[in-house]
């Protein structure tokens, strides 16, 4: 472990790159953001380097952790594939170490977020922890016996691509029937818009909220309507939560986590999502009635989890 208590975490997304200085308690001392030039490999690296160099000019940083959406090899160096960035089989660790002259660790962004929540957030009081993120897609990370589980090839915990309906809805990954196709924000909006386009009276309140423009129905709008008591919006979130809970029950049969945290944008719905998730999980859990039931909580660190986790993993 590095002697300095400070490390730099970088969260690389398709639209923005965030960088922060993180101490040993998971506190962000300073944070900077730049736009993400997602289609230009050289420009992405230069943007990351500019953040690190700027932060290092004001803080004694010992190492850098980079969290990126995509497949990262088990050596935490090569980005094998990043769906929303121009990286393909890139030795990002070597490239960035040459640019910033600091030790660099590369991590999958969901793994980094899971570690952040495990070390400093919702999972800090357990050793076996599962993070499920529900946003545009479904992702997550796994911590077993206090260690981040990456898998033999570095691509474990692709939770959203566990198949739950053979031959089901087409998923962006190319397969059919993935959990992501039923339990994501994208699925939530798809179902709401389909009902509105079909002229369902159930969707009248949502349509009124967007002036009749079906394309303006979004996840946050559905959550807002549900909080205001719209029965259809509540049912949409309940259906999503049921899919999510059933998927988590299948994962629990294999992983047996003590704690499951739900993060991502859809988790803003709080108990409108979490209560049906908990109910479906308890109902479908293998051995129910004869085993402890893992607690399902909302994640605590929000969109800072990946940055914090990447920084802490680099330090370790």
Rounded Cα distance, 27 and 300, in Å? 13
Average pLDDT, the chain: 93
18 token code pair: 């965030």
User: Is the per-residue pLDDT at 27 higher than 60?
Assistant: yes
Backbone angles phi, psi at 56, to 5 degrees: -70, -20
Domain boundaries, the chain: 7-115+304-315, 126-299
Tell me: the pLDDT tens digits for 286-295? 998 898 999 9
285 token code pair: 């859990």
Rounded Cα distance, 142 and 285, in Å? 18
Residue 2: pLDDT band with limits 50, 70, 90: very low
**190: burial class by Cβ within 10 Å (0-12, 13-18, 19+)?**
middle
Backbone angles phi, psi at 2, to 5 degrees: -70, 150
Backbone angles phi, psi at 18, to 5 degrees: -110, 140
Give domain 7-115+304-315's CATH architecture: 2-Layer Sandwich (3.30)
Buried b (16+ CB within 10 A) or exposed e, 253-265: eebebebbbbbbb
Residue 283: pLDDT band with limits 50, 70, 90: very high
Domains 7-115+304-315 and 126-299 share a fold: yes
Tell me: the pLDDT tens digits for 168-210? 999 888 899 999 999 999 999 999 999 999 999 999 999 999 9
The segment with the largest mean pLDDT, out of 66-75, 80-89, 144-153, is: 144-153
Contacts of 230 (CB under 8 A, 6+ apart): 205, 206
Which among 194, 201, 8, 209 has a CA at the least distance from the CA of 101? 8
Give domain 126-299's CATH architecture: 2-Layer Sandwich (3.30)
Q: What is the DSSP string of 240-302?
A: HHHHHHHHHHHHHHHH--SEEEEESGGGGGTHHHHHHHHHHHHHH-TTTTSS---EEEE-SSG
In 121-184, which ranges are continuous DSSP H helix? 180-183
Rounded Cα distance, 98 and 95, in Å? 5
């Amino acid at each position: 472990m590095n002697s300095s208590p400070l490390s730099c975490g970088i969260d690389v997304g398709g639209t923005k790159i965030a960088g922060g200085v993180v101490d040993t308690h998971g506190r962000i001392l300073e944070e900077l953001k730049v736009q993400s030039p997602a289609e230009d490999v050289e420009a992405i690296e230069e943007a990351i380097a500019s953040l690190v160099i700027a932060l290092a000019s004001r803080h004694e940083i010992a190492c850098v952790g980079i969290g990126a959406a995509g497949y990262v090899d088990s050596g935490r160096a090569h980005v094998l594939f990043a769906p929303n960035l121009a990286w393909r089989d890139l030795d990002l660790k070597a490239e960035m170490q040459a640019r910033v002259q600091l030790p660099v660790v590369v991590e999958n962004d969901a793994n980094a977020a899971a570690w952040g929540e495990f070390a400093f957030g919702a999972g800090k009081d357990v050793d076996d922890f599962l993070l499920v993120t529900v946003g545009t897609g479904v992702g997550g990370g796994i911590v077993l016996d206090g260690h981040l589980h990456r898998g033999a090839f570095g691509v474990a915990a692709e939770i959203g691509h566990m198949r739950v309906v053979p031959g089901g809805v087409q998923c962006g990954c190319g397969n059919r029937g993935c959990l992501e196709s039923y339990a994501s924000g994208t699925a939530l909006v798809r179902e709401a818009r389909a009902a509105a386009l079909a002229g369902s009276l159930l969707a009248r309140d949502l349509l009124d909220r967007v002036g009749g423009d079906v394309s303006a129905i979004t996840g946050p709008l559905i959550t807002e309507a549900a909080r205001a008591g719209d029965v259809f919006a509540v049912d949409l979130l309940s259906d999503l939560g049921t899919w999510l809970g059933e998927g988590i029950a299948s994962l629990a049969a294999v992983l047996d986590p003590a704690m499951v945290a739900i993060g991502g944008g859809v988790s803003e719905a709080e108990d409108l999502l979490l209560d049906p998730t908990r109910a479906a999980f308890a109902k479908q859990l293998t051995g129910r009635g004869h085993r402890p039931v893992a607690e399902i909580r909302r994640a605590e660190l929000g969109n800072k989890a990946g940055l914090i986790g990447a920084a802490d993993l680099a330090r370790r």
